[in-house]
Amino acid sequence: MEYATLLNDYAAAASAEQVKQKADALRELAKGNQTAEVYKFCLSAIDLTTLSCCDSEQSVGEFARRAAEFTIDYPHLQNVASICVYPPFVETVGLAIDATPLRITSVVGGFPSSQTFLEVKMLETAMAIENGADEVDMVINVGKILSGAYDEAAAEIEVIRGEAEDATLKVILETGALCTPELIRTASLLAMAAGADFIKTSTGKIEVSATAEAAVVMCEAIRDYYDVTGYKVGFKAAGGIRSAEDAALYYTIVKEILGEEWLTPELFRIGASALANNLLSAIEGEEVRYFL
Nearest alpha carbon to residue 135 among 108, 175, 98, 100: 108
Q: Which of 176, 183, 278 is nearest to 221 (CA)?
A: 183
Write down the catalytic residue from 22, 170, 200, 255: 200
Which pLDDT belongs to residue 292?
A: 87
What is the value of pTM for the model shown? 0.96
Say what angle helices 36-44 and 244-257 make with each other, to 10 degrees.
Answer: 80
Q: For this structure, is 205 an active site residue? A: no
Catalytic, out of 22, 236, 246, 255: 236
Count H helices and E strands in the chain, helices first: 13, 8
Bridge-based pairing of strands 234-238 and 135-139 is: unpaired
Known catalytic residue: 137? yes
Active site residue 255: no
pLDDT at 272: 95
Spell out the alpha helix ranges (H) of 47-149: 57-68, 70-73, 90-96, 118-130, 142-146
Mean pLDDT of residues grouped by 10 in the chain (292 residues)?
90 97 98 98 98 97 97 96 98 97 98 97 98 98 97 98 97 97 98 98 95 98 98 97 98 98 98 96 97 92
Q: Which of 32, 34, 43, 27 is nearest to 279 (CA)?
A: 43
Q: Which of the residues 47, 134, 137, 246 is marked catalytic?
A: 137
What is residue 90's predicted lDDT score, i.e. its pLDDT? 98
